[in-house]
């Protein structure tokens, strides 16, 4: 009896590490100390000593049941982008610069080529956010996960000068709310998505009117990473007053998290066109409109609040970063909360 007979293939683990190295290496930054394969990752903070009050900002998340689509479609090279995005977007909307990322993959069977595919997506997300992939773990857990399934989660650390943290403390009535377009469903609400659609290869290959691509492709499209856009706003000299990453819980849960007491957000549904995938889900699943806005991003992945005088400059910076921006509402005095009207 040995570990292989128990279901854990150590040699497959070694092969996975070798295959993923070429992807990991593309994410390196000068601050990374040491190479791949150590017990921990090291990152020098020497560069940030000039900050008045250097403050670490962290985020952790996973991909959730969106992974079920990756299993069905046997497509594993984009879910890593989702994993990175869910972490670094949270850091960016707090005003932080992502520094490094670590991933955790737990699987029923270590198939090295599949693990390398997953990590290639993680590395892609790290390059988009300029975060170094400095470590991770692949855990083969036979009997816990089915052989062809896995879970993927991650952890990111960023930095900001304390005075540059985005806290919402300066929000006031009259501030403008801007929404940055999402790439689709992102990585939230998939427990409901999987109830609306039959989760079969045949169902996911269907083409719906106005969608322009097979359903599975639209649903699996990776989460937008907004680090570049938020950095562009900062570089333009605009102070973002408040920011919300629209994830699970949609507008109703996430927008209030960026507000301070005494300030209410008003979001106009007619200020932008809701993407077709959300309209299809609402109609096919007979989902109430409020539930849609309380579950999905509805086409807006990030909401930011700026002073009215800075609105046009902010829109220009977002556009220059390659993203699409809409003016979706405003702040007013009132009980902390959000009205979607």
Residue 2 has pLDDT above 60, yes or no: no
Residue 258 has pLDDT above 60, yes or no: yes
Position 207 scores a pLDDT of 93
Claim to verify: residue 212 and residue 309 sit in the same structural domain = yes
Claim to verify: residue 219 and residue 305 sit in the same structural domain = yes
Claim to verify: residue 141 and residue 250 sit in the same structural domain = no
Claim to verify: residue 180 and residue 154 sit in the same structural domain = no
Residue 245 located in a structural domain: yes
Express each pLDDT in 278-298 by its tens digit. 999 999 999 999 999 999 999
CATH number of the domain encompassing residue 51: 3.30.1330.10
| Lowest-confidence segment of 27-36, 79-88, 313-322 by average pLDDT | 27-36
Q: How far is CA 162 from CA 52, 82, 157, 299, in A?
A: 8, 28, 15, 31
**What percentage of the chain reaches a pLDDT higher than 90?**
90
Boundary residue ending a domain (164, 188, 215): 164
Residue 4 located in a structural domain: no
Position 3 scores a pLDDT of 60
> Model confidence at 39, in pLDDT bands (50, 70, 90)?
confident
Claim to verify: residue 158 and residue 195 sit in the same structural domain = no
Name beta bridge partners: 55. 160
Claim to verify: residue 68 and residue 202 sit in the same structural domain = no
Residue 5 has pLDDT above 80, yes or no: no
Residue 303 has pLDDT above 80, yes or no: yes
Claim to verify: residue 153 and residue 181 sit in the same structural domain = no
Residue 3 located in a structural domain: no
> Model confidence at 34, in pLDDT bands (50, 70, 90)?
confident
Domain count within the chain = 2
Express each pLDDT in 158-181 by its tens digit. 999 999 999 999 999 999 999 999
Claim to verify: residue 219 and residue 310 sit in the same structural domain = yes
> Model confidence at 1, in pLDDT bands (50, 70, 90)?
low
Residue 47 located in a structural domain: yes
Residue 171 located in a structural domain: no
Claim to verify: residue 125 and residue 239 sit in the same structural domain = no
Residue 1 located in a structural domain: no
Residue 2 located in a structural domain: no
Boundary residue ending a domain (144, 164, 184): 164
> Model confidence at 251, in pLDDT bands (50, 70, 90)?
very high
Mean pLDDT, all residues of the chain: 95
Mean pLDDT of 185-196: 97
Residue 38 has pLDDT above 80, yes or no: no
Claim to verify: residue 74 and residue 191 sit in the same structural domain = no
Mean pLDDT of 93-114: 97
Of the candidates 162, 120, 108, 129, the residue with the CA atom closest to the CA atom of residue 22? 120
Claim to verify: residue 199 and residue 99 sit in the same structural domain = no
Residues ≥6 apart with Cβ < 8 Å to 283: none
Position 281 scores a pLDDT of 97
Residue 40 CB: number of other CB atoms within 10 A?
A: 8
Position 22 scores a pLDDT of 92
Residue 169 located in a structural domain: no
3-state secondary structure the chain: CCCCCCCCCHHHHHHHHHHHHHHHHCCCCCCEECCCCCCCCEECCHHHCCCCCEEEEEEEEECHHHHHHHHHHCCCCCHHHHHHHHHHHHHHCCCCEEEEEEEEEEECCCCHHHHHHHHHHHHHHHHHHCCEEEEEEEEECECCECCCCEEEEEEEEEEEEHHHCCCCCCCCCCCEEEEEECCCCCCCCHHHHHHHCCCCHHHHCCECCCCCCEHHHHHHCCCCCCHHHHHHHHHCCCCCCEEEECCCCHHHHHHHHHCCCCEEEEECHHHCCCCHHHHHHHHHHCCCHHHHHCCCCCCEEEEEEECHHHHHHHHHHHHHCCCCEEEEEEEEECCCEEEEC
CATH number of the domain encompassing residue 336: 3.90.650.10
Position 17 scores a pLDDT of 82
Claim to verify: residue 230 and residue 150 sit in the same structural domain = no
Mean pLDDT of 103-115: 96
Q: Tell me which residue range forms the domain holding 137.
A: 10-164
Boundary residue ending a domain (131, 164, 197): 164
Residue 70 has pLDDT above 60, yes or no: yes
Mean pLDDT of 221-247: 97
């Amino acid at each position: 009896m040995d570990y292989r007979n128990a279901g854990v293939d150590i040699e497959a683990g070694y092969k996975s590490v070798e295959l993923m190295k070429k992807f990991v290496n593309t994410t390196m930054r000068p601050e990374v100390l040491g190479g791949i394969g150590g017990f921990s990752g090291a990152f020098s903070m020497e560069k940030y000593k000039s900050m008045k009050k250097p403050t670490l900002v962290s985020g952790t998340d996973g991909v959730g049941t969106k992974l079920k689509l990756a299993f069905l479609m046997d497509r594993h090279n984009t879910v890593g982008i989702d994993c990175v995005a869910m972490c670094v977007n949270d850091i960016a909307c707090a005003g932080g610069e992502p520094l490094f990322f670590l991933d955790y993959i737990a699987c029923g069977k270590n198939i090295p080529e599949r693990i390398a595919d997953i990590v290639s997506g993680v590395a892609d997300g790290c390059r988009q956010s300029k975060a170094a992939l400095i470590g991770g773990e692949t855990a083969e857990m036979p009997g816990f996960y089915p052989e062809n399934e896995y879970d993927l989660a991650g952890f990111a650390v960023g930095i900001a000068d304390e005075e540059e943290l985005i806290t919402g403390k300066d929000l006031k009535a009259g501030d403008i709310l801007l929404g940055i377009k999402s790439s689709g469903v992102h990585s939230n609400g998939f427990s409901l998505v999987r109830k609306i659609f039959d989760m079969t290869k045949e169902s996911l290959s269907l083409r719906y009117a106005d969608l322009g691509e097979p359903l599975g492709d639209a649903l699996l499209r990776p989460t937008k990473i907004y680090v570049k856009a938020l950095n562009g706003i900062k570089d333009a000299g605009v102070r973002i007053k408040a920011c919300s990453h629209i994830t699970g819980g949609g507008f109703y849960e996430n927008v209030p998290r960026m507000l301070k007491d005494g300030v209410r957000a008003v979001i106009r549904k007619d200020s932008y066109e809701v993407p077709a995938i959300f309209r299809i889900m609402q109609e096919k699943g007979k989902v109430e409109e409020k539930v849609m806005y309380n579950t999905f991003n509805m086409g807006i992945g990030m909401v930011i609040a700026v002073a009215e005088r800075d609105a046009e400059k902010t829109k220009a910076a977002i556009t220059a970063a390659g993203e699409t921006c809409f003016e979706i509402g405003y702040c007013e005095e009132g009980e902390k909360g959000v009205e979607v009207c």
